[in-house]
Structure 1
Amino acid sequence: MFSTFKALADPTRLRLLAVLVHGEFTVQELTGILGTGQSRVSHHLKILTDVGLLSVKRQGTWGYYRLDGDNPFFHAIRSVVEARLRKETAPGDKERMLATLEKRRHRSRDFFDRHARQWDNLVRNLLPMADYEKELLACIPRVSVVLEVGVGTGNLLAGLRGRAAKVIGVDHSSRMLELARQRVADAGLDGVELRLGEMRHLPVADGAAQWIVLNMVLHHAPHPQQVFYELARVLPAGGGISIADLCRHDQDWVREQMADQWLGFERQELETWLAAAGFEPVFFNRVSGNVNEQDTLLLSAVKIRQGMETHT
């Protein structure tokens, strides 16, 4: 307990915690947010990690610090401390933190705008994945409205239309949406509506979708936890989501060549985010790829309550 209070007594460490309460950041990002030298930031992060206030999620050569350590005393007082930290995040730190998240979003959107026409070939040739789409579609019940977040070039739309009377597709890249619209027209699909929007601010009314699909999109999200809160907003109780994404891997090159923010996910971290947003997992499967194919995870969950969103 004494070591915890000692760790919390330093103003720089409190600033770090006040930033990390909003999400996960690398040392380099935290250095820019605090406007402090990297060695100093690393020193304070080590102290906070050693006393169990922080943990580090390794993603290839990057490490993301999160306010999720194994300190029992801190867990007992966490809700009170977090509420205070959110209120007292220094205005300058919060502004730079939001700019950091915006930089992540811009990087992803600009990449997809530039490479939209080559995207399907890029995925197929650079990062081949296990064959999972039939199983993903089988996870989706027949409903009136399905929302696909990160619709891309629209290669899943025909399958989704077979599961719902109406399909709404959202993407943050206008170039991707152009290709998706052409695909819809060429296939003569009706009941499909495409919209420009961000994962964290979906252009969809509260409770307007019965089921949501995220197909290989979450690893591009600047802040995955916030995405789940937004998904909960547009679903009624009993509505659900189905996710297909990469299993955790060590292919660091995808950050530059594929604009990936995260090197896949583990089941436990997805289920933790889902639980915080009010979802209960109902299905999980790991689809193993052949030689040189990335393993894929499939997960479905149902909304059982409204989660308590942590506003950034």
Structure 2
Amino acid sequence: MNHDADLFHALSDPVRLRILYLVREMELSVGELAQTLAQGQPKVSRQVKLLIDCGLLDRRKEGNWVFLRLGNRALVEPLFALLDRWAQVHGRNPWLAADAARLTAINAERSAEAAAYFATHAAQWDRLRGLHVATQAVDRAILHALGDHPLGQVVDIGTGTGTMIELLAPRANHVIGIDRSPEMLRFGRAKLLEQGITNADLRQGDMTALDLPAGSADTVVLHQVLHYAHRPATVIAEAARILKPAGKLLVVDVAPHHREELRREHAHTRLGFADEEVLACIAAAGLEGRVEEQLAGGELTVTLWSARPLPARLRAV
């Protein structure tokens, strides 16, 4: 098989070029592509397969959904540099403007779904937030704990609808948000698109077994997620695994409490954490931890713990 011939064959069809331009803007399912292109889903699936086979597109499974994203950067980036230059000289294909308009409609549909979901759950979330200090105070404490320097490659474990991504993306090179719930990720993706946050990538995953390389993150955040974990030490160990040697882990959760309804009604596995327990988990993961701040002011106290990898000479002792 001639890979060069396959690549140029894939680029020879205008529909396949339109697909590449659309996926460049945002991750899309085959159904959404078919809707945007006004073509049948089987036909679009065949075109997508050709693009995947030559490395220009990649598939990402999320629950029952499969999303398409750009593939091999070594292929894709030079290709778009050439296409953009061609458009500057010869003008853009009129199909692309029509596709962009339909893509805007899909964005609006996603945003409407997200708004309906948030409206349905707003009262419940407001009640939960009312149990502890105001969100703005927690956000300020998080930014203070992370310091003034750029955050680099950020991983937000248990991202939910992307609240931490909204806070941290302006100071990050790139943010990966990971959550087990496809529904939450779908709504989070719509919210981030609506706000114009382009340096973020939301993925489905398990916080105890992250599909990320060791030593790949400058900053890792566990924000109000540890109380859902059956094995908190495993979650912290996995966060430690992906930290770079000079990276930083920030854990934000509640101190011990007796609100049993949070276990019954909101699936909280743990009713908060004592400092010594979190710090012991951090130490067991080969990190050096400290209590950054405790925020009282409601029925629940929010605690921030930070951690950094120990120097290699100390880990070996």
Matches for 1:146-185 after TM superposition, within 5 Å: 146-185=154-193
Q: Which residue of 2 aligns with 1:188?
A: 196
Q: Which of 195, 209, 222 is the aligned partner of 1:214?
A: 222
Question: What's the secondary structure of 1:219's corresponding residue?
Answer: helix
1:137 Cα deviation after fit? 2.2
Question: What's the secondary structure of 2:173's corresponding residue?
Answer: strand
The answer to whether residue 242 in structure 2 is matched with residue 234 in structure 1 is yes
Question: What's the secondary structure of 2:168's corresponding residue?
Answer: helix
Cα gap change, 1:165/1:232 in structure 2, threshold over 3 Å: closer, same or farther? same
Q: Which of 140, 151, 175 is the aligned partner of 2:146?
A: 140
Cα gap change, 1:297/1:198 in structure 2, threshold over 3 Å: closer, same or farther? same
Q: Which amino acid in 2 is paired with 1:133?
A: D
1:281 Cα deviation after fit? 1.5
Q: Which amino acid in 2 is paired with 1:215?
A: H
Q: Which of 296, 301, 306 is the aligned partner of 1:300?
A: 306
Q: Which residue of 2 aligns with 1:273?
A: 281
Give the gaps of 5 or more residues in structure 2.
1-116
Structure-1-length-normalised TM-score: 0.58
Cα gap change, 1:228/1:119 in structure 2, threshold over 3 Å: closer, same or farther? farther
Give the gaps of 5 or more residues in structure 1.
1-115
Q: C-alpha separation between the residues in 1 aligned to 2:288 and 2:273?
A: 18
1:205 Cα deviation after fit? 1.4
The percentage of counterpart residues that share the same residue type is 30
Q: Which residue of 1 aligns with 2:264?
A: 256
Q: C-alpha separation between the residues in 2 aligned to 1:174 and 1:120?
A: 19
1:119 Cα deviation after fit? 4.9
1:202 Cα deviation after fit? 1.0
Q: Which amino acid in 2 is paired with 1:140?
A: L
4+ residue segments displaced more than 6 Å: none
Structure-2-length-normalised TM-score: 0.57
The answer (yes or no) to whether the contact 1:247–1:297 under 8 Å persists in 2 is: yes
Q: Which protein is richer in helix relative to its size?
A: 2
Q: C-alpha separation between the residues in 2 aligned to 1:282 and 1:163?
A: 23
Q: C-alpha separation between the residues in 1 aligned to 2:276 and 2:122?
A: 29
The answer (yes or no) to whether the contact 1:144–1:210 under 8 Å persists in 2 is: yes
Q: Which amino acid in 1 is paired with 2:127?
A: N
The answer (yes or no) to whether the contact 1:282–1:302 under 8 Å persists in 2 is: no
Q: Whose Rg is larger?
A: 2
1:127 Cα deviation after fit? 5.1
Cα-Cα RMSD: 2.2
Q: C-alpha separation between the residues in 2 aligned to 1:282 and 1:229?
A: 16
The answer (yes or no) to whether the contact 2:291–2:303 under 8 Å persists in 1 is: no
Question: What's the secondary structure of 1:156's corresponding residue?
Answer: helix
Cα displacement string for residues 157-180 of structure 1 (whole angstroms, at most 9, x for unaligned residues): 121112211011000101110111
Q: Which amino acid in 1 is paired with 2:126?
A: R
Q: Which residue of 2 aligns with 1:50?
A: none
Q: C-alpha separation between the residues in 1 aligned to 2:285 and 2:157?
A: 17
Question: What's the secondary structure of 1:237's corresponding residue?
Answer: strand
Q: Which amino acid in 2 is paired with 1:207?
A: G
Give the paired residue count: 192
Q: Which residue of 2 aligns with 1:123?
A: 125
The answer (yes or no) to whether the contact 2:139–2:167 under 8 Å persists in 1 is: no
The answer (yes or no) to whether the contact 1:136–1:298 under 8 Å persists in 2 is: yes
Q: Which residue of 2 aligns with 1:22?
A: none
Q: C-alpha separation between the residues in 1 aligned to 2:145 and 2:170?
A: 13
Q: C-alpha separation between the residues in 1 aligned to 2:252 and 2:265?
A: 20
